[in-house]
Structure 1
Amino acid sequence: PTAGEIIKLNAEGRRYNLATPCLAAMELRWAEEDPANAMNLPDSVLEMMAAFRLTNNYETTPEWFKRLVVTRADVMARVMSPLITTQIAGKKEHADGLYALAHDPDYAAIAKLITPDILNSFPRKAQKNQLQSLRLLIIALMTRLDKSTQLEIIADRLADKSGDVAQRVYWLTAGLQLAPAIYLEPARQYISHTQARTSHLIALIHEQRERNSPQAALPLAALELMIELLGPQCSPRLSSGFGWVSPAMELARYVEGLISTLAGMPDEKAQLALASLLQHKELKPWEDTLRRAMFDQQLTRRKALFKPASVAQVSSTLANLAPANAADLCALTLDHLQQLGREIRDGNTNDYRQYWREEHPEIEDNCRDRLLSDLKIRLNPLGISAEPEGRYADEKRADIKVSAQGYNIPIEIKREMHKDLWKAIQHQLIARYTRELASDGYGIFLVFWFGGAGQPVAGDGGARPKTAPELQERLQQIVPVSHQQKIAVLVIDCSLRAAGKG
């Protein structure tokens, strides 16, 4: 029989009795002859043998068939394309040879020849048991076809609005991985609507990870979206364990891998993505993992940005002159602010008085300007500038920006009675300013203490602080662990002295 006749009979649920003796004869031919001679048969015979083998698939793949797959992709293509197309049309759940087409690298040349045509014939509305066949075909497309063909097919299928929900999710997921600039927002808008759509995304991802099939490297924005969509569907406690790996465990490991990938990116956007993911209530089970990732990402970023100081810079730093990096600039600025704080509190010139208007604390801007005036006197001779309202990311402004050698340190200032006293470190200093490249995550949160009256409710759950040192210690404790080494808190005591003390 011809290969076409074998395929036709297979579609009817029947087989040729000749199949077994023909397959046995081919085994003998391969065993007794030189491999090259064994395959020296007319194409029609090779096609017949391929059809017999594919429709009578025993567990052990014979060597002659492996040789045929690798050396005669054209013969295999002429058999596999009509066979798979016919079986999909007949609603067969597992089309013969389709799994190998997606996952076996030996089938790469065959997949390149036949995947587009099989996809073109795949029904736009498929039954549930046909969806795995589509997932396998999409994986073959993503791993075997050239980029232009991939994008052309994806665009064509997404342009067809008659397809069912599962297929649309699959194609958007493929597009998200292959061309995120085009498909990121369409995927976000369509898939994030329902859990059912997310489950289809999970099904395709799970199929991709079968046998460690290669996957496209996802850009940052796509990584963030995938974590946002997939994280709520699993738990990090499932990512470890031994023995049989369930789909939920596999998904948890995949999400953990995505988070680790973000942690390994040194750019600022990765830091922002992790911070944004931490705000998602649905990702609460992943909070510890995300916080560890933020810490790791900061180390990655620090290593990437690190520039060894020159001999001249080291000498200048040791001489208390120009700082060599953002860390030096922050430490130097903090040291001078601490000295100013001591002079304001304990100096014999009653400097604290300039922060009061008669018996009332000065407004915040006036306090800032008076401190800035004294700070400039100290920093300007060192080649360091200090200016009010430094412009930072998203057009936000810090109260003071200290700059030198291309580095900037933002200083956020509050009076102790400010309503956002306990929120400003996280929501202003960290979120708005320290993510600037020139700051390298460093910043200073400065509070003017006027005696403690009018304080807002303490943000750490305790009673309102009674002294400036207590407030400083408690504010420092609420700095996120991942920022503890870079965010300094300083409370300057401007409270009125008791009568007889100045």
Structure 2
Amino acid sequence: MNLRLDIKILKLWPKLVDHYNGNDFSYVLEGFKSITYRTDLYDLGYIIQLTKEGKSARILSAFLAGLDELWRETQSISAWTTDKIKLGLILDSFCLSPQLKKRDHTSRNWLQAILHEKPQLAVETYYEYMLAEIKSGFQYLHAKHIFLNSKKLKAFRKESTIKLLEACFSKPYAQDFWHGAVNDKESLNKLGEIVTNILSTAQDLEKDLREFYVAQAFIILPSYKLQFMPNDEDSLNQLWIIKEQIEKYGPNLELVSTEKKVSIYSCLANEFARRFVNTPRPKSGWSGNRNDHEASAVVKDAIFKLASIPLPVARNALRGMLSEPEFNTYNQTLMAAIHDSEQLYREASFKKPSWKGAANTLFNQKPSNIDDLSSLVSAHLNDLAKVIKSDNANIHKQFWNVDQYGKLVNPKPENEGRDALLTLLRNKLPNYISSEPEDLQFANKRADIACSYTEQHLKLPIEIKRHYHPDLWDAPKDQLYKQYMKHAERSGRGIFLVFWYGLDSKRKIPNTKNYKEYKPKSVDELASALEASLSEQLKDAIEVVVIDVSGDV
């Protein structure tokens, strides 16, 4: 028989047994099982040599098939020897193609059992395997993905991750081990020692890797400073890398000291503002990375990150920016941020209670479902509505076109109002919640804003209308629900947000035949009317938020 001795054969074996009248195929499976008792024939050196030669061995796939058959019979690994388990772990990684490796390949039940029952042994085995590959100069590590991504190994791999990082620091995949160490909450002191040693002793690093380590040193070392030269492409490239690496840290940036974060955000705001004037996001949607409007977003995000830090040094940094000519086009953002910073400092100093206290449980626990995410985002939006309504820093002017004297002329287009709100919202949301404009949704339709929590694959669409938009009453159902909420990871929840610009002869609430009974004359009345206009099904699914940007006190 010309049979392929790989794992696929096990899935086909009932059909093959039937094909051979139930008699002739069982000996093949017995042969597979017998191979698993000869771990002495296939050591790690043999696997490494096969890799060097770019070869595979069908007998190794037969070994895996034997383990599958043993598991099918006993549903247990309790009788498996340590050598059998270790070889099974190595071969599982070795025999899987790099393309499939990108997915979490825990489909083998015995593999899941090993990771659950013997995580320390799994870590030691993967470490030994990858270290041998590193020493052999391989550009691809077969076990890296499962080692760094298996949640079952998280509590056991920290020390091995650091050792592997030190062993492969000059290889591109060292970046994966660095972020693996960060995700596992490795001490920044330890990582600081490593990056300091690398930058001081490794003179032959590839340019991309050196820039990566420089970015890490800038982020985590308290006294590490960089000098960025104007009109220098290398300096600008290093700035973009720092920005992108900070994004990769996500919530792990909380490991960095508050003082260091002030230094980081101040540097990013100053350096990007020197090179880029405030540029709005193009209406055409996404247009690539590292462009003018993305740089503007970096400046504004850094400004509001500073505003979220209740320390005098952060407030002083913001005030200093007001007097710098490179921030002329960012003055409105700075004024709003300084207002937020002063308000936050007062609250922190006097410990005034707010709605955040009532929502403490939600703030200390990440959203576990779409309802949690919806509650979190709508709470922040309602809080922003209060700030915009009552502040004395004229935040509401961000939603208007004004004349040379600062007098309100007419409302900005919805997209520009959306961008202004998005800047304020990003400052309020936790780091692990992302918010992006014009998220592409079903059938090429776009929600105005999408708030996402990727760890739970949650995405919440936000549809925005001005209070006088002709589709005001129909948009919650026809746009938000039908076009966005019903599909994929949106999970049937959404927020309908309305900008209230005040009633006058030019900006009247539309009076359509289906909603003639609703005649709201205020923000609160409009919110109540919109909620009442929803069907019973949608009342549970859609949060209505109306934000007063009229400037009326």
Compute the TM-score of the two structures, normalised by the length of structure 1: 0.48
Larger radius of gyration: 1
Task: Please give the TM-score of this superposition, normalised by the length of structure 2.
Answer: 0.44
